[in-house]
Amino acid sequence: MREFLIIGSKAKTDKFSLNDLPGAGRIDILCRCVSSAFFLSHDIRRDVNVYLLLLGPPDPPKVIKIVGREVKYMPPDERGIAGLIRKALEVKADESWKKSSPGIYVAKKGLEELLDETASDVYYLREDGEDVRDFETKDGLFVLGDHKGVPRELEEIILSKAKKIIGIPTKSLMAEHCITILHYELDRKQLNS
Amino acid sequence: MREFLIIGSKAKTDKFSLNDLPGAGRIDILCRCVSSAFFLSHDIRRDVNVYLLLLGPPDPPKVIKIVGREVKYMPPDERGIAGLIRKALEVKADESWKKSSPGIYVAKKGLEELLDETASDVYYLREDGEDVRDFETKDGLFVLGDHKGVPRELEEIILSKAKKIIGIPTKSLMAEHCITILHYELDRKQLNS
């Protein structure tokens, strides 16, 4: 199982306009991360889960969980994915996962609780991490920041839980591209094993 | 110089709604390709050009050219990029390049003419091609199809001009993810050279 947790440091936690995703605390980035995490050509990766940790106003933190094995009717475009996120934000959230549409859940949880819940090994993606190509695993929960990076107090939590910091040594990349490359390198390991 | 040509086999060649990019002949795919081709974290790759060949109704073929060295005010989100494409489609196009906004041009050109114009070596991305990791170049014009693949008569033109067919052997991927991976593999070669 591959899991991705993307930290939306400013992402809105209430209804937002589908016509201005960047203005909703860069929900556009989270949508592209979801698309990169799940979509193949004419197929969806069923062995993937995505967690979006939304830390913007008015009601942070909220987490949206997308379960690849269950998800239905999810299109790969930003607006389509944003519509599903917005629908999840309309649900009255509490500490337990509440389903908003097939395979999509929402809860009021913070980072620490979320990381404590996962059965996967936790890896943190940061530019100075170990080269992803030398990294010896096919699975795990991979934690990424958005355009603002990860706030320091959250980074401390991640580092206390993470097995390793991994990085992509070529360029400073956007989160969605890191996910695509991570999949690619892990797929290659699977292909060669 | 890295150049990408994406063939939008159904992409509209006239004004379309920004609220339904998939319905405009999958303009959403082209927007994600543009985003993958140009964007780094808080930066743009200036050594990249993108050509979008639009083959949908009502006035095919049209080509939109985006010149990384010149482009300004381009956001990485689909709707933002689609707005720039739509603006280019409002220009009365003929055989010569007409500027619609900084770094963005439109012309009425077909595939053959476009490939004849380029100074770059042409490479065709197809699933059965030579493994991108073994591919020995850092530059070129890379031709990709959209969700429908490349129509047969156009593929013949590409094959007659292409130096090589290259592929990503892991999974059947969407065009925008192929661009991200291609950049990544070429960046690695540059890093190691």
Interchain contact A19–B (C-beta under 8 A): yes
Integer Cα distance of A43 and A55 in angstroms: 31
- Ordered per-residue pLDDT tens for chain B, 193 residues: 999 999 999 999 999 999 999 999 999 999 999 999 999 999 999 999 999 999 999 999 999 999 999 999 999 999 999 999 999 999 999 999 999 999 999 999 999 999 999 989 999 999 999 999 999 888 999 999 998 889 999 999 999 999 999 999 999 999 999 999 999 999 999 988 8
Across the interface, of B18, B35, B173, the residue whose CB is closest to A41 is B173
The strand pairing partners of B99, in sequence order, are B105
Residue in chain B lying closest to A181 (CA): B181
- Ordered per-residue pLDDT tens for chain A, 193 residues: 999 999 999 999 999 999 999 999 999 999 999 999 999 999 999 999 999 999 999 999 999 999 999 999 999 999 999 999 999 999 999 999 999 999 999 999 999 999 999 989 999 999 999 999 999 888 999 999 998 889 999 999 999 999 999 999 999 999 999 999 999 999 999 988 8
CA nearest neighbour of A32 among A86, A74, A72, A81: A81
Per-window interface: A 154-193 vs B, CB < 8 A:
168-174, 177, 180-181, 184, 187-188, 190-191
Predicted confidence at residue A193, as pLDDT, reads: 81
Integer Cα distance of B131 and B1 in angstroms: 21
Instruction: State pTM to two decimals.
Output: 0.97
Predicted confidence at residue A192, as pLDDT, reads: 84
Strands in chain B per DSSP E: 2-8, 39-40, 43-44, 48-54, 62-67, 98-101, 104-107, 122-131, 140-145, 164-167
Predicted confidence at residue B149, as pLDDT, reads: 86
Predicted confidence at residue B147, as pLDDT, reads: 84
Predicted confidence at residue B192, as pLDDT, reads: 84
Percent helix, strand, coil in chain B, to 5, is: 35, 25, 40
Q: A41 and B172 in contact by Cβ < 8 A?
A: yes
Residues 6+ apart with CB under 8 A from B64: B51, B52, B54, B85, B88, B89, B104, B105, B106
Interchain contact A77–B (C-beta under 8 A): yes
Q: What residues of B are in contact with residue A180 (Cβ under 8 Å)?
A: 177, 180-181
Q: What residues of A are in contact with residue B35 (Cβ under 8 Å)?
A: 32
Predicted confidence at residue B59, as pLDDT, reads: 96
Instruction: Tell me the ipTM for this assembly.
Output: 0.97
Across the interface, of B41, B79, B171, the residue whose CB is closest to A173 is B41
Integer Cα distance of B3 and B71 in angstroms: 14
Predicted confidence at residue A148, as pLDDT, reads: 85
Domains and CATH numbers, chain B: 2-192 (3.40.1280.10)
Across the interface, of B32, B147, B169, the residue whose CB is closest to A191 is B169
Q: Are A66 and A21 in contact (CB under 8 A)?
A: no
Q: Are B191 and A169 in contact (CB under 8 A)?
A: yes
Predicted confidence at residue A11, as pLDDT, reads: 98
Under DSSP, is residue B110 helix (H, G, I), strand (E, B) or coil?
coil
Residue B83 burial (CB count, 10 A) = 16
